[in-house]
Structure 1
Amino acid sequence: MLSVAAVLSAMFVVGTASAAFPKITYMRPLGVVRGEESTITLHGSSLGDATQVLTDLPGLEILEVTPVDEKSVTVKLKADEKLAPGLYPIRLVTKSGITDLRLLGVGAMPIVNEVEPNNSFEEPQTIEMDRTIEGNVDREDVDCFKVHLEAGQKLTVEIEGIRLVQELRNRNIFDPAIAILNSDRFEVAVSDDSPLLQQDSLCSFTPEEAGEYTIVVRESSFLGASNVCGYRLHVGSYPRPVTVIPSGGVNGEVLQAKLIDVDGTVTDSSVQLPSEPVAQWPVTHQDDRGISPSPNWIRVSDAPIVTEVEPNEGQSQASPGQFPALLCGVIEEGDGYDWYSFECKKGDRVRVQLHARKTLRSPLDGVIHVFGPDGKTLKGSDDIGPNPDGLVDFDAAADGMHFVRVYDHLRRGSPNHNYVIELSRREPSLELTLKELRRDEAMVVPVPVGGHGAMVLTARRNQFNDQFDAFVEGLPEGVTAQTFPMPAGRVEIPIVLHATKEAKLGGAFFEVGAAGKIGDREIQGEFNQHHKVVLGQNRREMFGYETEKAALAVCEAMPFSVEVVQPKTPILRRGSKDLVVRIKRDEGFDGTVSFRTLYNPPGIGVNNSKRIDKGKDQVVIPITANGSAAIGTWPMILQVSYGTSRGTATMSTSPIMLDVEEPVFDFAFPKAAAEQGAETILAVGMTKRRDIEGDIEVRLVGIPNGVSCEEPQKKVELGSEAVQFELKVAADAKPGTHKTMVVQTMITRDGETMIQTDGTGEIRIDKPLPVKKDPPADKKAEAKPKPKPAAKPLSRLEQLRQQKESK
């Protein structure tokens, strides 16, 4: 007999059944040194069949992947000796799927591990300069590190904390705070957040006298957790620019820039820019003191650069610009304004985009306004949704000089309040990404050997609403893609991947694109996938990452084959249909297989609760089409879920093509009425909307209780103008108005039945009127005796007299 504890344990396991796809919870160490071979351990779940690590960016060589158990994998790798320090995404591939990306730190300084106890100012861990410290902050933990500085020796401390966490449930978020203390325990530098590193910290200090200094690391709210709140602390005299001026450049050129360090020093630098425009280009600086542990960011465009010319505080002093261009400047004074002029022609479609906090990691909270040739304000902008930088679109109403003004919303300024204002023509464009199928997790595609995997491509259209064709490139050998046109006005379409039985297990990146036309002009879609790395309260994003390619994993074959039977007939608007799904089980597999739709054609509803139970091999899935379902031929794909030794695996079916057509008839329902125990005829008017082949019957359903119809289903012709149903109302039928009757048109063709449902019919059931009776005959009124007059009351004297006589 099972104990209570055993029963509860079994209930818990069933209630928390895990998915088979692999997941990384944390890794140790959090980073590596470039030019060296290193071994890292990935910890998580469903990792026992790991085979490969994918790297989104070049520079990391994966040497060996060794599963330890279901919860850990060791990875031996080497970072190129010339690889720029920073964070590099990696993804673990297993035989059952692929993880979302995790960020691995790459640095140039030797790594030192934190050694406990180091929780107090009196007992710090002594370290050397120019080191990267790897540690972890537990709840209410404070880590202290002591360094020796010579007079005039710069100390810069930068931490990677929140950027190394992956947390989507607002738990165990490491928001670091750092401080530098002198020997008297006074803070000489402190940092919680920083514009460049966002919620990670950066501070610097140069002493006038030699001495011992203590670096303190903690979670800003004194939270923390074992293993998952790790950090990399870069301690040294390395250069640490926080601003690049100008903050934009022309692709293919060498940008002559000034780098402003965290301590305020300015260095001249020549920066080679990429051959193509890049929205956010990393700039890393190196000198004889070392190399910055993470990059700065600039905008690279094919438009010319215009740098501000002081003074440009007012419209009359506006720095001359041009259109298109990148306008680069700095708000140095808190109450300052920067003005630029640029000439437009009437009809020019202009976009004015500010780049500061998001792109450049500038402290500027910028506000922009655009003015017309008459000096009047056209538009202004502060934030645009989650983007903290403003954007203005306008159509030039007249030829002439236009103006743009920028200032800081908080009325602050400094040499680091840099910005770029991008003036560009508004052109039709198409932005592509993949829809999340698991909430807040970027889509990665598992494709079983001999089977299918699928994804949903979503599009954001800008001045472009025509149909376009999606395409996929760079797939591994043995994997093919089936794409579908995205009709005009639609924003989603599926893409199905198929792996042959000969395809090799493993992961790969692939490119997703699209091509369309406006007249003779070609429009190319640009793909970008956003990865939510850390979400805080109310799912507010605290840190994210962008990639330009999608990822797939060729997985082990499913233990069955699956077929969605292709319908031979369409589904009608206002109609319904049954999909038949069959599986052929491999020997030894007798588990449950569940289905839900990956992609519904617009206006199509699907019963997603259907499954094939143990011992069965077929299920019927009802689908419906509303009255506005999109007409046309649409792909339809189901997700297939089944149990494995590692949890629930989810793959896809091959697509079927579902035709959606207009209804065949319109119906007009009269208001019927009958008394209890009576009969009536419901004559429903019919109007043909279009021709169709097949045998047609009309069925009355939803007949109220107490009402019967001997022939509720009748054959009709396309030209029929009405169909009549004889209704009998029982004597005990509930009186009142009943609005439950509908008619179903059933059109049979090729062994299938198309159903169109229309309503609502109404019948009023009345109680019979009571039987009318004749009034009774009048009777002669009998004479009533007159009442005797009441005796006259006797006076007191009379009463005494009568009493005397009676004696």
Structure 2
Amino acid sequence: MNFLRFPKLATPAACLLALAGTATAAYPGFSTMKPNGAQRGTDAKVTITGERLDDFEGMIFMSPGFTQKSVDKVEKNKVELTLGVGADIPPGYYMMRVRTKSGISHMRPFFVGQFPNAEEKEPNNDFEVPQPATLNTTVEGLVTNEDVDYYKVTLKKGERLSLEVDGLRLGYVVFDPYIAVLNKDRFEVANSDDTILHRQDGFLTMTAPEDGDYTIMVRESSYRGAGNNYYRLHIGNFRRPEAVYPSGGKIGSTTKVRFIDSTGESFEEDVKLPADTDERYMLLPKSQGAPPSGNPFRVSAFDNTLEAEPNNDIATATTSAGDPIALNGIISEAKDVDFFKIPLKKGMRLDLRCYAQTLGSPLDPVIGILNEKGGSLGNNDDGGGLRRLDSKLTVNIPADGNYFIRVTDHLERGGPTFVYRLEVVASEPELAFSSPEYSVNDTHLRQFVPVPRGGRYATLVNISRNNVSGDYKWTVPNLPPGVKLLNDVMPGNLPNTPLVFEAAADAPLGGVAVPIKLTSVDPAVKTVGKLRQEFDMVRSGNVRYYSEIEDQLPIAAVEEAPYSLEIVKPAVPLVAQGLMDLKVVAKRKEGFKAPIRVFMMWKPPGISSLGEATIAEGQNECSFTLDANANVAAGKWNFVVMGEAEAGNGRVYNASPFCEVTTVPAFMTAPAMALAAVEQGKETELTCKLDGVQAFNGDAQAEVVGVPDTITIESAKINKDTKEVSFKVKTNEKSPVGKQGNLFVMVKVPVDGGLTTHRIAVGSTLRIDKPRPAPAAAPAAPAVAANTKPGEAKPAAPAAPKPLSRLEQLRAEAQAKK
């Protein structure tokens, strides 16, 4: 049994910006590769087109078996070379990158087939004058707008003719090829447009009904076509299985597999499975003529259970062992339902994932789990994720006992190729990592490591853990000579980390694809972390038509950059709930004055900052303000920035060395100050009550931050013994009426090396009110009667009016307005 590891395919996304010239590191463009494939065991003369290729050095092969025999011609936008294609490489597609002295390109696929190549020769768009073709040949062609390509083959009655087209999978654009076989009367004997296995790329098999010539037609399904609608058409008498059953097996085992054609005809072979899981593993038959591509096959660390018919209800359910287990079956006819019985324990949390369309099956699976009384614990239709119509269900088991898993098709269809594999597993330890997308709708940008001589390249990796904890270390074998990784430990308490690679000034130019991994510092922990980087193969806007997974990191030493960056080590620590300016200094080569965008590659938990800053043209500095929250952990953290600059006709990247920043607890804290209210033009005070003051030497300067210029708040001094501090507030007639919220007190505390900046009393508020209206004039005192007799008491003078509270004033003003 031949097997094919699932090819690692990606496509050019929107433009990958690059830089020409042999003196600076840049991205070469990689637009086309003609031919798009070759026969295994041969030497292939290949022409690459793109941009900034005049300093071409070689290819980076993402899979073994390929060699670069010679570089025959190099131009600015074109390279001609000869590739050796190993005889043992199974049919399929494999990824390659262009490497120049100045950078690494994105990936493109190269197809390996078992047939020799032939080229389309125009004109061949007339049914009456088709291009002759021979069986077991791969034709490389192009469908332009409204173009139809015709090929003629001669068959004997009963002879098998199989076609398969690679169009969308070549990774250029959203190309939807249509293929058909026509008889002499122009009637279609067989045709294919879309397939479950290959999406927009079709395949077909037919048996010649009589001796004679048959015409093969290739076109775009809507007769559109374009200048980059390339195809590889495989013409032969090979067998093209649509599905295999079972669709997976246990690692290291020998498994009997049945290859199933669209008609239901099948044949069996034994396959020896690899010793490790591989989500891209594929099968190719050995006893029959192998097709141009394999069938996906799941390789898992647990056993298989195969359905035993009849199993259409709970009473006849196929019995299986407990988790983990893989349940395999075929919904072989309309309205077929498969049941499996499995013993489970109370408290178990299980993932049930049904693979069908992921494996090329037309089944739209609906899965469910029931208890012994037929009560449902859950159902799922389209939650599988990998392909939209596959299913996934997570359940909690409420009690010990037997449970029943149900599988059927959403539309109650069925057929001989409606295979499925349902994996039932408890939560398994898993560790994976990948880099984020650095640009919207472009999964390729900066997903490789061109390290400039005498400089560095930085990338961020996000860590995904499932039942895995503790510190891990990076394992990066076979780095290019002169290149090293500057950080080797992945702390178990962090969700991500920057990886910084450095190249010696005299590092030889060269590059490789590296199988980077994470291994536990605890030898008792066997879980290994792997790179799982997803790339778009074909994308249009937000729609992904094809995407594949890569587990190797391409790394190369390239020419030096025209600038370098360094973070100035702070003289003081960053305090919790504090601020710090982190300065970045550039050193430019003579004559290089372009602006440099500077990216903050990583921030530890609890610290935020802007993601980028710019060193202006001809300038040499910029800074980032680090903002620590109240819960930031005390520790030492390695910061790194990476620069991006236009140099020549492309972008050049170079990263700084690591710079250590220390975080410590705050020297003081304070709650929000009590609300203070003042009228326009008057004065008041804001009072701050300090909590938890640590000892420090000298006086700290404190000021309230967040008010407009029309409000003056005097600063104050604080020492280690201060428990309360007041700030005098002065307003004028232009001070805005209303609340001034989100104020805080900035305190600069002296420490060894300088001042640390604290923010306390965050969320304080000052209210400005309109001036109160002048009080109404008091009534005149009554006159003393002129005839007051001597000795009589004079009337008492009226009492002075009682001062009104602010609330009473507001009420009086409201009453006066009525």
The alignment's TM-score, normalised by the length of structure 2, stands at 0.86
Letter in 1 for 2:601: L
Structure 1: which amino acid aligns with 2:107? Answer: L
Change (3 A) 1:16 1:765: farther
Identify the match of residue 116 of structure 1 among 106, 115, 122: 122
Contact 1:343 1:402 in 2 (8 A): yes
Please say if residues 435 and 455 of structure 1, whose CA atoms lie closer than 8 Å, have aligned partners that are also in contact: no
Look up the equivalent residue of 2:479 and give its one-letter code.
L
| Alpha-carbon distance in 2 for matches of 1:16, 1:636 | 27
Where do 1:271-310 residues align within 5 Å?
A: 271-287=271-287, 290-310=289-309
Rate the CA distance shift 1:310–1:17 in 2: closer, same or farther, 3 A.
Answer: closer
In structure 2, the residue matched to 1:727 is 729
Counterpart position of 2:662: 659
Please say if 1:405 is aligned against 2:411: no
Q: Distance in 2 between matches of 1:193 and 1:297?
A: 17
Q: Rate the CA distance shift 1:566–1:66 in 2: closer, same or farther, 3 A.
A: farther
Match of 1:783 in 2: none
Match of 2:702 in 1: 698
Q: 1:591 to 1:414 in 2, by over 3 A?
A: same
Which one is further off, 394-403 or 314-323?
A: 394-403
Contact 2:564 2:654 in 1 (8 A): no
What is the match of residue 86 of structure 1?
A: 92
- Cα distance, 1:680–1:546 mapped onto 2, change above 3 Å: closer
* Kept in 2: contact 1:593–1:613 (CA 8 A): yes
Between 138-147 and 615-624, report the one with greater CA deviation: 615-624
Residues 17 and 406 from structure 1, CA distance in 2 versus in 1: closer, same or farther, beyond 3 angstroms?
closer
Distance verdict in 2 for CA 1:609–1:54, change over 3 Å: closer
Query: Are residue 744 (structure 1) and residue 750 (structure 2) matched?
Result: no
Paired with 1:105 and 1:679, the residues of 2 have a C-alpha distance of 80
Q: How big is each residue's C-alpha offset from its partner over 1:676-728, in whole Å with a ceiling of 9 and x where there is no partner?
A: 5443333322223655667521123344444334xx33221133122222333
CA–CA separation in structure 1 for the residues paired with 2:649 and 2:737? 60
Residue 773 of structure 1, CA deviation:
4.1
Output aligned runs, 1:449-460, within 5 Å.
449-460=453-464
SS of the aligned residue for 2:640 comes to strand
Deviation string 1:62-92 (CA, Å, 9 cap, x unpaired) is 2124563232222311111232111111111
Q: 1:694 to 1:426 in 2, by over 3 A?
A: farther
Q: Which amino acid aligns with 1:104?
A: F
User: Match for 2:518: what amino acid?
Assistant: A
- Structure 2 partner of 1:189: 190
Partner of 2:605: 602
Distance 1:629 1:224, change over 3 A: farther
8 Å Cα contact 1:255-1:272 kept in structure 2: yes
Please tell me whether the aligned partners of residues 679 and 770 of structure 2 are also in contact (alpha carbons under 8 angstroms).
Answer: yes
Does 2:329 match 1:329?
A: yes
- SS of 2:548's equivalent in the other structure is strand
Is 1:393 equivalent to 2:397 in the alignment? Answer: no
Distance verdict in 2 for CA 1:320–1:714, change over 3 Å: same
Q: 1:382 to 1:465 in 2, by over 3 A?
A: farther
CA 1:686/1:362 → structure 2, altered by over 3 Å: closer, same or farther? same
Query: Superposed, which structure 2 residues align to 1:260-659 within 5 Å?
Result: 260-262=260-262, 264-287=264-287, 290-323=289-322, 324-358=324-358, 360-384=359-383, 386-388=385-387, 389-439=390-440, 440-442=442-444, 443-464=447-468, 468-483=472-487, 490-516=494-520, 523-536=527-540, 538-608=541-611, 610-627=613-630, 629=632, 632-659=635-662
What is the CA–CA distance in structure 1 between the aligned matches of 2:308 and 2:384, rounded to whole Å?
Answer: 32
Q: CA deviation at 1:106?
A: 0.9
Partner of residue 785, structure 1: none
With over 3 angstroms needed to count, the CA separation of the structure-2 counterparts of 1:740 and 1:296, relative to structure 1, is closer
- Counterpart selection for 1:670 from 674, 680, 691: 674
Asked whether 1:96 is paired with 2:96, we answer no
Aligned to 1:225: 226
Provide the C-alpha distance between the structure 2 equivalents of 1:311 and 1:452, rounded to a whole number of angstroms.
64
* Partner Cα distance (1:79, 1:513) in 2: 28
Q: C-alpha separation between the residues in 1 aligned to 2:458 and 2:251?
A: 37
Question: CA offset at residue 771 of structure 1?
Answer: 6.5
What is the CA distance between 1:248 and its match in structure 2?
A: 2.3
Q: 1:197/1:608 Cα in 2 relative to 1: closer, same or farther (>3 Å)? A: closer
2:137 to 131, 135, 146: 131
How far did residue 310 of structure 1 move? 1.5
The Cα offsets for residues 361-384 of structure 1, whole Å up to 9 and x where unpaired, read as 211111221223443222222222
SS at 1:163 equivalent: helix
The answer to whether the Cα contact below 8 Å between 1:735 and 1:766 also exists between their aligned partners in 2 is: yes
% same residue = 32
Give the aligned residue type for 2:78: S
Matched AA of 1:432: F
**Aligned in 2, Cα 1:659/1:240: closer, same or farther, shift over 3 Å?**
same
- Correspondence for 2:174: 173
In the aligned structure 1, how far is the partner of 2:302 from the partner of 2:526? Answer: 21
Cα offset, 1:240, TM superposition: 1.7
Aligned to 1:804: none
Which consecutive unaligned segments of at least 5 residues does structure 2 have?
Answer: 1-14, 20-25, 784-818
Task: Note the C-alpha offset of 1:470.
Answer: 4.4
CA offset at residue 762 of structure 1? 0.3
Cα distance in 2 for residues equivalent to 1:85 and 1:50: 28
Deviations 1:588-639 (A, max 9, x none): 3333322121223334333455333344333333332345656543332212
Please tell me whether the aligned partners of residues 704 and 741 of structure 1 are also in contact (alpha carbons under 8 angstroms).
no
How far off its partner does 1:30 sit? Answer: 0.7
Deviations 1:92-123 (A, max 9, x none): 11222212221111112121111112223233
Contact 1:582 1:617 in 2 (8 A): yes
Tell me if structure 1 keeps the 8 A contact 2:16–2:106.
no
Letter in 2 for 1:311: P
Provide the aligned C-alpha RMSD in A: 2.9
Contact kept, 8 Å, 1:17 with 1:648, in 2: the verdict is yes
Q: Any idea what the Cα deviations from partners look like across 1:561-584, whole Å, max 9, x if unmatched?
A: 321112232323443211111222
Distance verdict in 2 for CA 1:380–1:692, change over 3 Å: farther
Alignment-derived partner of residue 249 in structure 2: 249
Distance in 2 of aligned mates of 1:605 and 1:93: 36
Give the secondary-structure state (helix, strand or coil) at the position aligned to 1:316.
helix
1-side partners of 2:94 and 2:735: how far apart? 75
Aligned to 2:163: 157
**Equivalent residues, number:** 754
Shifted more, 184-193 versus 629-638: the winner is: 629-638
Contact 1:580 1:620 in 2 (8 A): yes
C-alpha change, 1:519 and 1:562, in structure 2 (3 Å) is closer
Counterpart Cα distance in 2 of 1:247 and 1:667: 63
Separation in structure 1 between the aligned mates of residue 680 and residue 300 of structure 2, nearest angstrom: 82
Output the TM-score relative to the length of structure 1: 0.87
Q: Tell whether 2:774 aligns with 1:770.
A: yes
Matched residue of 1:279: which SS?
coil
C-alpha displacement at 1:777, in angstroms?
9.5
Q: Distance in 2 between matches of 1:469 and 1:695?
A: 45
Deviates more, 1:94-103 or 1:277-286: 277-286
User: Does the aligned pair in 2 maintain the 1:204–1:263 contact within 8 Å?
Assistant: no
* Worse overlay, 449-458 or 562-571: 562-571
1:687 aligned onto 2:706 = no
SS at 1:291 equivalent: coil
Q: Per-residue deviation at 1:347?
A: 4.1
Structure with higher RCO (Cα < 8 A, 6+ apart): 2
1:714 aligned to 691, 716, 732, which one?
716
Mark the CA change 1:748 to 1:329 in structure 2 (over 3 Å): closer, same or farther. same
CA-CA distance at 1:195 after TM superposition: 1.9
- Per-residue CA deviations over 1:390-430 (Å, capped at 9, x if unaligned) read 23333443333222221111221111111222233322322
Give the letter aligned to residue 643 of structure 1. Answer: E
More deviation, 349-358/186-195: 349-358
Taking a change above 3 Å as real, the CA distance of residues 772 and 372 of structure 1, as seen in their structure-2 partners, is: closer
Partner deviation per Cα, 1:736-765 (whole Å, 9 max, x = no partner): 544475321112334333222334340424
Alpha-carbon distance between aligned partners in 2 of 1:693 and 1:354, rounded to the nearest angstrom: 66
Q: 1:32 aligns with which of 35, 38, 42?
A: 38
* C-alpha distance 268-568 of structure 1, shift in aligned 2 (>3 A): same
